[in-house]
Amino acid sequence: MKKFLSTLGPGLLYAAAAIGVSHLVQSTKAGALFNYDLIWILILANILKYPFFEFGARYANATGKSLVDGYARIGKWAVILFSVLTIASMFIFQAAVTVVTVGLLANILNIDISISLLSILLLVISAIILLVGKYSLLDKVIKFVIVLLSVSTIVAVFAAFGIEKEIQSDSIMHFKWTRSADIFFMIAFVGWMPAPIDVSVWSSVWGIAKAKELKYTPSLKDTLLEFKVGYISTMVLAICFVLLGAQVLWGSGEVLSPKGTVFASQLIRLYTSSIGAWSYWIIALAAFTTMFSTTITVLDAYPRVLGPIYTNLLSKKDEPRYLRMLLIILLIIGTFIIIVFLAKSMAYMVNFATTLSFVTAPVLAWLNYRVVTDKHMPIDARPGMGLRILSWLGIVFFIVFTLIYFYMQLTT
């Protein structure tokens, strides 16, 4: 057990990246809009996406390389394709989680500072923490944050079932497959449920960083068990947020605001109305630290992933010392520009980012499957038949719904 606990890190970092906008925003909204209607979609998405996230941890453990290095073994075109998808999404992804984080911070501290200014301050502080503390500090902080959020969320859910609320009949709504707005929401919901598939690449680079910290490579069994702990945690907490939204907001007539600061107030009230006003600061701290951990985790991940992209595309043996710092600065600048122009509508930013993740899912899913079943992958570390079948079911699911999405875009 002691040895297993020492391996905890990459799976929890994955959980920290996943438990953010997809949970606090999208899952809560799913419950508020449609009651329990989308829980089965949530569970299905987690099951069908599981292999592709697991492949990141599996590949890093078996080869000591990141998934980007695996893409390079398939062909340089695969690295180019992944780099295009990464660059196309990274600024929007970072901006979406940052806006939600600063919305919470502004609401908790009751400060009237522009979202743009608060965002740049938060990003700079996050960058300093990453550059000074590096992986080990991030690893330690995340373990505390995940435990705090998990306990407070589960307590809030149980308390919410004791609430008696007044249902307004004209506010009751259920999910309909014939309503295009519902389909578009579901696609955005699944896009980041439990996380975008490119987070699997992040897991692989974190796995390598953890092995360097431990000075040994854990067994494949321990690595996969550690990952499953993080993965199952994200699914359970996602269900909890749907339940919270359903129990407290569904049928109440209250609409979740697209503005970050207003939404933050509504989110915290979800907890305090079920647990009690005394819990305000505990819940506020849990919500903020969760989103802050997501912000800092994303800021850590993209430069780590862009490093092997750089070495593989330019055929370099090692990354320059200054590269990671330069990439963090570049990510902050691009994120700030996005926030300046789109910060007024948190909902638009989140929906755009989540939808982009959904439509690129089939490509990334296939790349991950191709890498872990390639001949260079050690035979004893390749996925079994059950996992392969589940992978193909997932790929077909992503392709079908992506085609439905494009069809509806053209016909509505």
Inter-residue contact 283 to 274 (CB < 8 Å) = no
Tens of pLDDT, residue by residue over 89-108, are: 888 888 888 888 888 888 78
The DSSP letter of residue 304 is: H
Inter-residue contact 43 to 257 (CB < 8 Å) = no
Domain count across the chain: 1
Per-residue confidence (pLDDT) for residue 396, from 0 to 100:
92
Give CA separation, 266 vs 147, 232, 269, 284, 333, in Å.
23, 27, 5, 11, 30
Q: Establish how many alpha carbons lie within 13 A of residue 226's alpha carbon, considering only the half-sphere containing its beta carbon.
A: 29
Per-residue confidence (pLDDT) for residue 218, from 0 to 100:
74
Tens of pLDDT, residue by residue over 179-196, are: 888 888 888 788 778 878
Per-residue confidence (pLDDT) for residue 294, from 0 to 100:
81
Q: Answer whether the bond into residue 362 is a cis peptide, omega within 30°.
A: no
Inter-residue contact 94 to 299 (CB < 8 Å) = yes
Domain at 406, CATH number:
1.20.1740.10
Domain containing residue 38: 2-411
Inter-residue contact 364 to 197 (CB < 8 Å) = yes
pLDDT at 150 over 60: yes
Q: What is the pTM of this model?
A: 0.82
Cα-Cα-Cα-Cα dihedral of 304, 145, 261, 124, to 10°? Answer: -40
Inter-residue contact 192 to 22 (CB < 8 Å) = yes
Distance CA 177, CA 69 (A): 41
At residue 20 the predicted structure's pLDDT band, cuts being 50, 70 and 90, is low
Average pLDDT, rounded, for the chain:
80
Per-residue confidence (pLDDT) for residue 43, from 0 to 100:
93
Which helix (H) or strand (E) covers residue 150, if one does?
Answer: helix 115-160
Per cent of the chain over pLDDT 90 is: 15
At residue 267 the predicted structure's pLDDT band, cuts being 50, 70 and 90, is confident
Tens of pLDDT, residue by residue over 302-349, are: 988 888 888 888 877 777 778 888 999 999 999 998 888 765 555 666
> Which of 80-89, 185-194, 263-272 has the weakest average pLDDT?
263-272
